[in-house]
Chains A and B, each alone.
Chain A
Amino acid sequence: MSFVPGQPVTAVVERIEIQKLSQGPNLVLGFCIGGGIDQDPGQNPFSDDKADKGIYVTRVSPGGPADVAGLKIGDKIMQVNGWDMTVVTHDQARKKLTKKNEHVVRLLVTRKTLEEAVKQSMSRPGPS
C-alpha cells in the first residue's frame, strides 16, 4: 500500500458491494471512515506509511450492512462507485458515500493481507 512518488499508485483491491440500510429517514452503511487530505495522516493507526492521506475504515458496526458485505476494519477505500477516494478531503469522501439517491455502494478496498495473498500465490509454483 505504499507508493513511490511520481509513479502511479498500484494496489490489489477487493470489490465490495454494500446495500444501504434505511434507518428512519437515513440510509446507513454501518461503518466509520477516517482520513483525508485535510486530516493529519500521522494519527492514522491503520496505515503503514504515515504520510498516506487516504480514506480508511476505522470502525465496522457488527451485523451492519458493511459487516455483512465483508468490509474489515483498517481497509483503505480506493474507489466508491467509481469516484476516486485516494485524494479527497474527509468531507468529500463522506458525501460520496452518503448520497441519498443511491442505495448501493460499490467499493474497491485494499488491505495488506490481499497483497500478501497475491504474492504467495505468485511465488507458489502453479499449473503452467
Chain B
Amino acid sequence: MDTESTYSGYSYYSGRSRGSHRHGERSRDRHKSRSKDSRSEKSVTINTPPAEPLLGDSSVRGEQVQDDNWGETTTAITGTSEHSLSQEDIVRITKDLEDSVGLNCRRYLTRILAVILGVLVLLTPLAFLVLPHLLWPDKLQKCGTACEGLYISIAFKLLILLLAVWGLFFRPPRASLPRVFAFRALLSVLVLLFVISYWLFYAVRILEAQDADYQGIVQYAVSLVDALLFIHYLAVVLLELRQLQPCFSVCVTRSTDGETRHYNLGQLSIQQAALAIIEHYYSDFPVHNPALLSASKSRAAKHLAGLKVYNVDGPGPGNNPAAGLAHSQSRAMIAAAARRRDTSHNELYYEEAEHERRVRKRKARLVVAVEEAFTHIKRMQEEEQKKSPGDVMDPREAAQAIFPSMARALQKYLRTTKQQHCHSMESIQQHLAFCITNNMTPKAFLESYLTPGPTLQYSRDRWLARQWTLISEASVTSGLRDGTVFLLKCVDFSLVIAAKKIPFVQMSEEYIDPKSHKFVLRLQSETSV
C-alpha cells in the first residue's frame, strides 16, 4: 500500500529477552528493506506506463478542458504521449520523494526510542534480581523455597508480558499519521516514570543500604512485573477497547462525484477517525473515474461561453476602480445568463436518454458474446485425459483462446461507460483465467466490468488515491465531536467528512401477557332501530 506503511507511534516493549539487540537490528533490517521497496516503486522513471491501456487507447487522464483562447494566445499543448509525464505526475512524484525522506528519520527515531524503552523495562526486574548477587554476595541471605517459588512466578509473568506486548504492539503498522498518538505517548511516559521511580527506590533503599533480605528483593521485583502487567491492561483498554463502542455517525462524501457513505465510529481522535475512514474508503467507494466528470465541466463552460462583456465607456481615469468594474461585469453576466432562454436542460435529458440506450445495447451484445465464448471451453474430466492428450490447455491458454471472440464487444462497452483506462488487456485476460479456473459463470466474469468496483479491485496505478492530507480546523489529536468537519485531500479529489453524535437511546419496556392474545369472530352486528 502506498500510504506510507510505516511504524506509527511507539512500541515500548521489545520482542525477545536477551536478544533485544538482535531483534532491534532485525526489525531495522526488515524496515530498511521495506522502505527500499516502497522507494523503488516511486522512483522517477520516464518510460512507458507499466500497464498498456486496452487496445492502445491514449490515457483519458490526458484529456484537457478546451480553453477558448488557446488558438490565439498560447502555443499548442499536445496531449500526453506515451513518453512524457503530465504536470500532475511530476508534482506527485516530487511530493512523494520529499515526504518519504522526511518520514524515514521520524520512523527511525520512534523505533529506536521504543526499543530502548522496551529493553529498559524488560531488563529491570532481572537487574533487580541479579545486582545483589554481584554487589554484596556474602551478606546476602540464602534464597529459601518461597523465594524460589517467586522465581518461577517472575519467569511466567515475564513470559506472559512478552506475549501480550507482542500481541498488542507488534502488529504491522497500517499508516503513518501526522501527529503522535496521544494515548501511546501518555502510556510510554507513564511506563518510563514508573520504572524510574522503582529504580530510584531500589537505588536508595536497597543498593545503598545493601539490604540482606533477598526474599524481599525478589518480592519487589515481582511487584514490578505485576504492575507492568496492569499497565498493559490499561494499554489494552485505552488503545483498543475504548473506541469499539460506536458513538458517532460520520457521513463521508467524495467531492468530485458526490458518492456518500455513512459509517459508525467510536470515540477516536480526528487522525484515527481519518485512518478508519480511509480504510473503509478503499473497500466501499467505487473507484474514482475522472472521465465521468468531463460532461458536467463542458456544460458549465458552455453556460457562460456565449456571453462576452464589452466596456463601452472605456477605462476612465479613476472613474471605476478595477474591483468595482469587475464586480459590475460579473453581475451583468449573471443577469444576462438568467434572462437568456436556456435549453441546455433539454439537451441534457435527451443526451442522457440516448446514452442509457446505447449502454444497454452494448451491454446486451457483450453479455451474449461472453456467454457464447464461455461455451467454447469446458473443464476436462479425468477420464478424458487418457483419450485426447493433444489439445489440453492450462487456464491461461484457455483464456487467451476465447478472449478474441469477446474482446471487441468488451472494448466497445468499456468505451461507452468510460472505463477503458481502468482495465488493460493483460488484466482482463488474467481475470478471465481466474474465472475459468474457479468455475465461474459468464455473469460472474462480467460483474467486475459492469459495475465500477471498489478501489482496491484495480491495479495500483489506477488507484488515484495514494497520498492523503488531513485538513482540519480543530487539532488532529483532539477527539471527534458532534459537528466536527474535516477534509481528506488527495491529488485528484477530496473526501468531506462530517460527524454527528449518535443520539442517546431511551428504551422502555412493555410486558404483554401471553394469555392476553384472545380473538373473537367478527359476527354480523345487529342494531335495534
Number of residues on chain B facing chain A (CB within 8 A): 8
A residues 80-106 near B (Cβ < 8 Å) are 90, 94, 97-98
Distance of A77 from chain B, by nearest CB (Å):
10
Chain B interface mostly helix, strand, loop or mixed? Answer: loop
B residues 503-527 near A (Cβ < 8 Å) are 522-527
CB distance B522 to A32 under 8 Å?
Answer: no
Is A28 part of the binding interface, using a Cβ–Cβ cutoff of 8 Å? yes
Across-interface contacts of A29 in B (CB, < 8 A)? 529
| Cα of A35 to Cα of B527 in the assembled complex, Å | 10
Please pick, from B522, B524, B528, the residue contacting A44 in the complex, using a CB distance under 8 A.
B524
Across-interface contacts of B525 in A (CB, < 8 A)? 34, 39, 90
CB distance A28 to B529 under 8 Å?
Answer: yes
Is A33 part of the binding interface, using a Cβ–Cβ cutoff of 8 Å? yes
Across-interface contacts of B527 in A (CB, < 8 A)? 32-34, 90, 94
| Cα of A97 to Cα of B529 in the assembled complex, Å | 7
Distance of A6 from chain B, by nearest CB (Å):
27
Across-interface contacts of A94 in B (CB, < 8 A)? 527, 529
CB distance B522 to A40 under 8 Å?
Answer: yes
CB distance B524 to A35 under 8 Å?
Answer: yes
CB distance B529 to A58 under 8 Å?
Answer: no
A residues 23-45 near B (Cβ < 8 Å) are 28-29, 31-35, 39-40, 43-44
CB distance B523 to A32 under 8 Å?
Answer: no
The residue in chain B whose Cβ has the minimal distance to the Cβ of A61 is B528
CB distance B524 to A31 under 8 Å?
Answer: no
Please pick, from B523, B528, B529, the residue contacting A43 in the complex, using a CB distance under 8 A.
B523
Across-interface contacts of A43 in B (CB, < 8 A)? 523-524
| Cα of A35 to Cα of B526 in the assembled complex, Å | 8
Distance of B253 from chain A, by nearest CB (Å):
52
CB distance B524 to A40 under 8 Å?
Answer: yes
In the complex, besides A28-B528, A59-B526, A59-B528, 15 extra interface pairs with C-beta distance below 8 angstroms are: A28-B529, A29-B529, A32-B526, A32-B527, A32-B528, A33-B526, A33-B527, A33-B529, A34-B527, A39-B525, A40-B523, A40-B524, A43-B523, A90-B525, A97-B529
Top 6 A-B pairs, shortest CB-CB distance? A97-B529, A32-B528, A43-B524, A34-B524, A34-B526, A32-B526
- Could you give 13 example pairs across A and B, Cβ below 8 Å? A28-B529, A29-B529, A32-B528, A32-B529, A33-B526, A33-B527, A34-B526, A34-B527, A40-B523, A43-B524, A44-B524, A59-B526, A59-B528
A residues bordering B, Cβ < 8 Å?
Answer: 28-29, 31-35, 39-40, 43-44, 58-59, 90, 94, 97-98
